[in-house]
Amino acid sequence: MHLSRVAASALSLGFVLPLFLGVSASVAMSIHTADVSPSPTGSASASPGVPSTTAVDARASFGIGTTSKGRFDARSGIVIRQERGSSYDDTVAVVNLSKFPLKIRVYAVDVVNSANGDLAPMPYSAPHSDASAWVTLHSPGNIEQVEVPALGKVELPLTIRIPDTALVGDHLVGLMASLTSAATTSGELATKIDLEQRVGIRLAIRVAGELVPAMEISDLRADYVGTANPVGLGSVQLSYVVKNTGNVRLGAKQAARIHGPVGSAATSADLPTIPILMPGGSATVSVLVPGVTPVGYMTADLTVIPVAAQGDSDPGFTVVTSATSFYAVAWPLAAVVVLIAPVVALTVVRPRLRAARLSGRHG
């Protein structure tokens, strides 16, 4: 049994776990595996066509992985660099770790950045708008649904043909293994649904040519968030969009500096890193910078430093900056001032004015 290796492989892919629709990550870690080493990417346990109360030994476990010479190899995916107009051949295999046969759908989809920047494979029904259209999986009978025997595997040769018109740079594809099961929702209004559970491995393609790393910041906004303490420090909420406008995959480090007029206190903060963005991908970011002294008219400076993805060389990056202005007012302190101003006027200012008038009369 190689449970830990299957679970680790699933986690290392980054986009695998979110694909288990309706299945928690803890369930995904309870895969029952055969003695496969190295292990392919494993799926969560599923109960195809039966209620969720079915005994554990009736659950389905399956996975997909790369193979060499008829055996699963140590690769976590396929990474290639190809010229336009070229082709590349490789092999993957679907493994059935269950005690009964399964019909597994195998297909390729484009992988894109979600709103927060995480990598996510497109749905099965999505159009092939990028490199997934370059992939041909040669299944038995050339059908997507593959009959995999109990405790067995089926190897699938694949061919990747790079078009003459392919865009230079990075492209990402998910090679998916999918099981659709009948399920029923709980509660009074029980509904029958089709539950698709899928796992995948990455196919990373770099089309040879000039690499142009570039990022941009847009829609930067800063809002001061005060505190109930009249003399306490507040925070600044920053929101913005970081987009990869080049042709090479990039992550990014980022930092912010909040400051007022010359001579006033400044607050600097290192912000969470931006995940790997594919060309054309973007991440909508919202972060809170604490410890800000409100001094009225203030400025937020944002710096984004592109970083090469793991395993990539540094093609030369340009630091990206942006700035925006906002007002930071300590409203509790202002309220206190408004409340005590009449008291000060009555107890201090008014008596002094009266005394001044009296001294003027007798002067």
Model pLDDT for residues 220-238, shown as the tens digit of each residue: 999 999 875 665 788 999 9
Claim to verify: residue 256 and residue 145 sit in the same structural domain: no
Predicted pLDDT at 295: 86
Domain that holds residue 293: 215-329
Claim to verify: residue 159 and residue 270 sit in the same structural domain: no
Cα separation, 83 vs 95, whole angstroms: 32
Claim to verify: residue 302 and residue 343 sit in the same structural domain: no
Q: Is the peptide bond before 38 cis (omega within 30 degrees of 0)?
A: yes
**Side chain identity, residue 134:** W
CATH number of the structural domain spanning residue 130: 2.60.40.10
Claim to verify: residue 233 and residue 98 sit in the same structural domain: no
Mean pLDDT of 165-182: 94
Looking at the structure of the chain, the number of domains it has is: 3
Taking only the tens place, the pLDDT of each residue in 262-275 is: 766 778 888 999 99
Claim to verify: residue 8 and residue 93 sit in the same structural domain: yes
Residue 310 has pLDDT above 70, yes or no: yes
Residue 102 has pLDDT above 50, yes or no: yes
Claim to verify: residue 67 and residue 86 sit in the same structural domain: yes
The residue ranges of DSSP E strands in the chain, in sequence order, are 41-42, 62-68, 71-72, 77-82, 87-96, 102-113, 119-121, 135-137, 145-148, 153-161, 169-184, 192-207, 215-225, 234-244, 250-259, 266-277, 282-292, 296-308, 320-328
Claim to verify: residue 201 and residue 62 sit in the same structural domain: yes
Residue 176 has pLDDT above 70, yes or no: yes
Closest CA to 75 of 91, 95, 54: 91
Residue 362 has pLDDT above 50, yes or no: yes
Beta bridge partners of 179: 197
Highest mean pLDDT, choosing among 23-37, 43-57, 290-304: 290-304
pLDDT tier, 322 (very low <50, low <70, confident <90, very high otherwise): very high
Claim to verify: residue 43 and residue 167 sit in the same structural domain: yes
Cβ atoms of 46 and 148 closer than 8 Å: no
**Side chain identity, residue 76:** S
Cα separation, 202 vs 14, whole angstroms: 10
pTM confidence score: 0.76
Q: Are strands 77-82 and 234-244 parallel, antiparallel or unpaired?
A: unpaired
Cβ atoms of 200 and 106 closer than 8 Å: no
Cα separation, 181 vs 16, whole angstroms: 18
Closest CA to 40 of 58, 67, 68: 67
For residue 117, give the DSSP letter: S
Claim to verify: residue 185 and residue 264 sit in the same structural domain: no
Closest CA to 105 of 87, 125, 90, 88: 125
Domain boundary residue among 207, 235, 270? 207
Of 267-271, 297-301, 346-350, minimum mean pLDDT range? 346-350
pLDDT tier, 328 (very low <50, low <70, confident <90, very high otherwise): confident
Cα separation, 334 vs 353, whole angstroms: 25
Claim to verify: residue 119 and residue 256 sit in the same structural domain: no
Is the dihedral angle over the CA atoms 19, 20, 24, 28 positive or is it negative?
negative
Residue 12 has pLDDT above 70, yes or no: no
Report CA Rg, the chain. Answer: 30
Claim to verify: residue 14 and residue 155 sit in the same structural domain: yes
Domain boundary residue among 207, 227, 258? 207
Claim to verify: residue 238 and residue 302 sit in the same structural domain: yes
Buried b (16+ CB within 10 A) or exposed e, 107-123: bbbbbbbeeebebbbbe
